[in-house]
Structure 1
Amino acid sequence: MTRKRAGCARGVARALAVRGAVATAAMAAVAAPLGVSTSASLAVSLVMPQAALAADTTPIAPAEKLLFLTPHLHGVASQTELDYSLVVSAPPEKSTDRVRVLVASDDNAKSDATVSDASGKVTVPGDLPCNPIILYFLERDIAEMEQLTGGQRRYFQQRVRLALAAGPPITDATAQVDGKPVKARKIVIQPYLNDPNAARFPKYTSKRYTFVLADGVPGGVSLLLTEVPGDNGDFTHPVKTESVSFETSVRKLSPPARGAPSTPKTPSNAPRASR
């Protein structure tokens, strides 16, 4: 990783890890549109400019490092397409889609991997060494929470950030690649479980996020999952689940250099076909 890229990645990761008084003030500011009255929101404009400085001295949690600062695409050749299955299930309805990550440069060294789904190319935050499928998944979820609840996007972003910054355990798990088990690591968070504003969206209070990552899976990501449980936190009968799971990797031919022929010319001494 270049010094410039590493510095940028650290800066973004630190922004993800805002804690303490800065995080509290930020949460207070975005809580206001949810109907929560707070005097802290008046001071947030003074506190937020110091967020990067405050976060800079705070250790980044292992869960954050694993998700956002790990070069998951290391070892993936240029012009490789990683295919993921997107499944949204809200019984009795179920929909599926395919999400593609195109790794344009070897190891994604140029941070130029792109994401596309049925809608076409999708813009995700850049300058992080992680597999952009993680950012796609979280951005999609946060946008959906905003739409479903009427809350602010920043509020849900902050809840997820704080849940990861709190240091959730990373446990051993197993993933499947071509029908074979590989060692994996799993992170589980419930960002709204102790949210003081959860009464505004009780349906999602126990919503659970699961991240399964494995070095033996091309691109490092095996499964990303959200679950909205049924009554009384019943995860065996969820009312809605959304998952992104690895399917396969496809090696594509590199595009020909500019001006180069796409097919080789017939050698001059090759036998000619009879007329």
Structure 2
Amino acid sequence: MIVRYPFLALVFSLVFVLPIQGRADSATDLVFSTGVLDNIPQQKTVTYDHIRLGPEDSGLNLIENGAVSLSVAEGENGGNEAILEMRDNGTLRNRTPFPADAGNPLVMAFLESSLRSMAQITGGSPFYLRNRIKESLRSGGQVTPTSFTIDDKSMPATSITFQPFQHDKNAARMGDFANLTLTFVVSDDVPGGFVLFSAATPMVDGNSLYRETIRYSSLADRE
């Protein structure tokens, strides 16, 4: 199944306005930097764990045991393309090709998934939500040094956070989503450049109204 993401227009517009080669210093540059797929061998696949939780009565497609795979292969036109596959409990939900030179396509898929979830839970306009997210991503977020652990080995990383609705004029009407935080953790030590993608409302009494995470798992041989 081939699925296209409407958020691609948003992401590509950001990339075209802010062309980047490799890592840079600003929050926007770090998230949308290109060349991050260069360290994925064509015979390998990067895998991620995917969880999406929210109110059961919202009709949201909850994912408690999801998986994402990302690989790079030669495309029909001779250039490389990135293939992104998303599964839920082993069932393939979608498979999408992306240009391999336009950054990590999981950024696009994650933003689109988060946007759809927010619109479904809040009943708000996806166009309004998309514009607020776009403004937040373009204006820049907070960049913080951090670390992560893989196979008991600690590695340096950078955390980038955005709060797209914190100062929105309609924040008082958005409930928990007024303080939604988008988090991206990046590291040059990880194939594909990303350790974590997260969208979450604040924790209240140990629970969050909405939480979605895509977390790096491993680099494995392609099947």
TM-score (normalised: structure 1): 0.62
Other structure's SS at 1:74 match = coil
Per the TM alignment, residue 15 of structure 1 is displaced from its structure 2 partner at its CA by: 2.7
Are the counterparts in 2 of residues 192 and 198 from structure 1 also a CA contact under 8 Å? yes
Structure 1 residues 79 and 154: CA distance shift in structure 2, 3 A: farther
Higher relative contact order (CA 8 A, sep 6+): 2
State yes or no: 1:100 paired with 2:69: yes
Instruction: State which structure, 1 or 2, has the greater radius of gyration over its C-alpha atoms.
Output: 1
**Whole-angstrom distance in 2 between the partners of 1:200 and 1:238:** 18
Code of the aligned partner of 2:208: P
Q: Percent identity?
A: 26
Does 2:208 align with 1:238?
yes
More helix, by proportion: 1
SS of the aligned residue for 1:217 comes to coil
The two structures have a TM-score, normalised by structure 2, of 0.75
Indicate yes or no: 2:44 matched with 1:75: no
Deviation at 1:122?
3.8
1:187-215 CA distance string (max 9 Å, x none): 11111111112234223111111110011
Match of 2:190, SS? coil
Q: Which residue of 2 aligns with 1:204?
A: 177
The aligned residue for residue 121 of structure 1 is 94
Q: Which residue of 2 aligns with 1:88?
A: 52
Question: Is contact 1:61–1:165 with CA below 8 Å preserved after alignment?
Answer: no
What residue number does 1:187 align with?
Answer: 160
Equivalent residues of 2:69, 2:84 under 8 A apart: yes
Is the contact made by 2:54 and 2:210 (CA closer than 8 Å) also made in structure 1?
A: yes
Equivalences for 1:17-28 in 2 at 5 Å? none
Q: Does residue 223 of structure 1 match 2:221?
A: no
RMSD of equivalent CA atoms: 3.2
- Code of the residue aligned with 1:217 in structure 2: it is V
> Structure 1 166/85 Cα, relative in aligned 2: closer, same or farther at 3 Å?
same
Cα pair 1:228 1:238 within 8 Å, conserved:
yes
Q: Determine if contact 1:125/1:135 at 8 Å carries over to the other structure.
A: no
> Which 4+ runs in 1 deviate beyond 3 A?
11-14, 89-94, 122-128
Deviation by residue 1:143-166 (Cα, 9 ceiling, x = unmatched): 112222232323222212211222
Q: Distance in 1 between matches of 2:98 and 2:133?
A: 16
| Cα distance in 1, alignment partners of residues 199 and 215 from structure 2 | 12
Q: Contact between 2:37 and 2:103, CA under 8 Å: does it hold in 1?
A: yes
Provide the C-alpha distance between the structure 2 equivalents of 1:125 and 1:103, rounded to a whole number of angstroms: 9
Give the structure with the larger strand fraction. Answer: 2
User: 1:190 and 1:166 mapped to 2: Cα distance?
Assistant: 11
Letter in 2 for 1:242: E
Following the alignment from structure 1 to structure 2, what is the Cα–Cα distance between the partners of residues 165 and 206?
Answer: 18
The count of residues paired between Structure 1 and Structure 2 equals 199
Distance verdict in 2 for CA 1:126–1:99, change over 3 Å: same
Query: Is 1:247 equivalent to 2:217 in the alignment?
Result: yes
Whole-Å Cα distance in 2 between the matches of residues 189 and 124 of structure 1? 27
What is the alpha-carbon distance in structure 1 between the residues aligned to residue 117 and residue 198 of structure 2?
Answer: 14
Return the offset for 1:242. 1.2
**2:122 aligned residue (134, 139, 149):** 149
Query: Given the alignment, which residue of 89, 99, 103 partners 1:130?
Result: 103
| Partners of 1:99 and 1:16 in 2: CA distance | 24
Q: Distance in 2 between matches of 1:62 and 1:163?
A: 13
